[in-house]
Structure 1
């Protein structure tokens, strides 16, 4: 095998490299589609809170596969902006969107539609859906391992 072919095979079949490269490319599209004050990850956190009002911080961290310290940092920022409200019940912190947070979520939801349209225009609608499902399934397997 030639060095060029070996390099091509490593870059093609190395899941780490391929997924990192894909993540960078999709992040560029997301940054263009999601016109907000914060990184897209904050808005995804708001999405989960929107669908699960009064979710505990622990459940939120688990759903997003985030370390508790990371979710705390994100929530601190969202709370400072007035987009979420946290309440303590015993040892647990519960999170919900504020009225302003719901408005921000509505704008984000429109941005998600634009993001899908952008990458579906490049990859195709069916391939986009299948790729997303395959990545979700693979992530779930890796997280259970």
Structure 2
């Protein structure tokens, strides 16, 4: 049986997932020293940038489900990296002192990751690809029913 590879190279779903798996592996390697997955690191970055962010706002910014954010926040709270503070009916999320210290360390891992994929893809290609992926993600988000 002759399998035509065009289904693999022309399919956005397959190609984007293949790319995501490669980037995930690269990111996991870059963040291994932090003893924290890249996804959890991005939660810390968002909480740092928006102290007191609500869970709903965090979900919107990271495009994740509330149940996923609860799991992330619970784990980060167990590690004493974030804390929840209730105000009226809303719960706000803040970095702890340990979270703030780790945030500073995370910058070097982000730089390492950036440097690694730029060395492979090139700076211009990396920037164009990031822009196109972001714009496409926004278009798909708005186009959902």
Q: Do Structure 1 and Structure 2 share a fold, with TM-score over 0.5?
A: yes
Give the alignment's TM-score, normalised by structure 1: 0.93
SS of 2:86's equivalent? strand
Offset, 1:38: 2.3
What is the aligned partner in structure 2 of residue 28 from structure 1? 25
Q: Do structure 1's residue 12 and structure 2's residue 18 form an aligned pair?
A: no
Alpha-carbon deviation of 1:8? 2.1
Range that drifts further, 33-42 or 120-129? 33-42
1:62-106 deviation per Cα after TM superposition (whole angstroms, max 9, x unaligned): 110111011011000001111001111122110011111011111
Please point out which of 82, 92, 95 is paired with 1:94. Answer: 92
Gap runs ≥5 in structure 2? none
Tell me the equivalent position of 1:65. 63
TM-score, L = length of structure 2: 0.93
| Bigger shift: residues 34-43 or 45-54 | 34-43
**Cα separation, 2, equivalents of 1:109 and 1:75:** 20
SS at match of 2:5: helix
Superposed CA offset, 1:45-67 (max 9, x none):
11111100011111001110111
Determine the C-alpha separation between the residues in 2 that align with 1:109 and 1:144.
31
Instruction: Tell me by how many angstroms 1:118 deviates.
Output: 0.2
CA deviations on 1:106-127 (whole Å, 9 max, x unpaired) are 1111100010000000000110
**Residue 107 of structure 1, aligned match among 94, 105, 108:** 105
- Aligned counterparts of 1:73 and 1:90: Cα–Cα separation in 2: 22
Task: Say yes or no: does 1:77 pair with 2:75.
Answer: yes
Q: Which one of the candidate residues 131, 134, 137 is aligned to 1:133?
A: 131
RMSD: 1.0
